[in-house]
Amino acid sequence: MQAVLLALPVRGKERFARAYWRGVAWIIGLRLRVLGEISTARPVLFAANHWSWVDIIALGAVLPGCFVAKGEVGSWPGIGLIAKLGRTIFVSRGRDTLAREQQDMAARMTAGDNVILFPEGTSSDGNRVLPFAAAFFSLAFTPAAPWVQPVTIVYDQLEGLPVRRADRAGIAWFGDMDLAPHAGQLLRRRSLRATIWLDPAIPPGTYKSRKSLSDALYARIAANAAALRQNRPPADEI
């Protein structure tokens, strides 16, 4: 069905992708708590912290947009096909391809698509948010001029109990961990809850450089993540 929808000039492919990920979340026992509102502006660049492969399911079920992923994901058996049907934008981040990849992403946003970006560039251990790479925010300074919405994701309940620091290593997928063993161990758990905090979207032109935008987003998302890990309300708005 998604393959057919990709060929049609309608937003059905976007709605179907979210319905698909909501179904996957239900099957694996992933519960979603959403705080805040998704921006109704178009296009939107969603900037989110990154814990685990589970982020794709959680954020895919909530956010109307296309993920940006490293190029090698497109060649992974099964996962690569799902990513392509989900209209994932694959990037290599090499100097020789950077300009073309940024043009491709800008073209996607000019066409009205939202983009979901992990500016850490990799996943963390869940105990902190890694520094953001300002280069990722070149998209925010293109003629497409997207709004930018900060997104914080924290896994805060495991089998109905608060997630402890020792539990986070079993949820986070980082470093040189193999996907299959990690997924097998996590999926044996009866339930997991992800809290997704959506801050108000930032209008184009609010920040004058990639660095200032990156720093503001990092400070906001890192503060929110720390608060949610400690079961405290998120920080004030940017």
Q: What pLDDT, on a 0 to 100 scale, did the predictor assign at position 170?
A: 85
User: Is the pLDDT confidence value at 71 over 70?
Assistant: no
pTM of the model: 0.85
Domains of the chain (ranges, CATH numbers)? 2-229 (3.40.1130)
The residue among 238 and 99 whose pLDDT is bigger is: 99
Q: What pLDDT, on a 0 to 100 scale, did the predictor assign at position 82?
A: 67
> Is residue 151 within 8 Å of 59, Cβ to Cβ?
yes
> Is residue 134 within 8 Å of 211, Cβ to Cβ?
yes
Compute the average pLDDT of residues 103-120: 84
The residue among 163 and 105 whose pLDDT is bigger is: 163
Pairing of strands 44-48, 192-198: unpaired
Q: What pLDDT, on a 0 to 100 scale, did the predictor assign at position 238?
A: 47
Least trusted range by pLDDT, from 66-75, 100-109, 127-136, 196-205:
66-75
Compute the average pLDDT of residues 87-93: 69
| Phi, psi for 111 (deg, rounded to 5) | -75, -5
Beta bridge partners of 68: 89
User: Is the pLDDT confidence value at 219 over 70?
Assistant: yes
Helix (H, G, I), strand (E, B) or coil at 5: helix
Q: What pLDDT, on a 0 to 100 scale, did the predictor assign at position 86?
A: 60
User: Is the pLDDT confidence value at 17 over 90?
Assistant: no
Amino acid sitting at position 193: R
Mean pLDDT of the chain: 83
Mean pLDDT comparison of 61-75, 84-98, 172-186, highest-scoring range = 172-186
User: Is the pLDDT confidence value at 235 over 70?
Assistant: no
43 prior amide bond cis, ω within 30:
yes
Q: Three-state secondary structure along 213-234?
A: HHHHHHHHHHHHHHHHHCCCCC
Mean pLDDT comparison of 119-123, 139-143, 186-190, 215-219, highest-scoring range = 215-219
163-191: burial string, b at 16+ Cβ within 10 Å, e else = beeebbebbbbbeeeeeeebbeebeeeee
Q: What pLDDT, on a 0 to 100 scale, did the predictor assign at position 202?
A: 96
Beta bridge partners of 152: 197
Q: What pLDDT, on a 0 to 100 scale, did the predictor assign at position 201?
A: 96
Q: What pLDDT, on a 0 to 100 scale, did the predictor assign at position 186?
A: 86
As a whole-number percent, the residues of the chain with pLDDT over 90 amount to 43
Per-residue confidence at 91, pLDDT binned at 50, 70, 90? Answer: confident
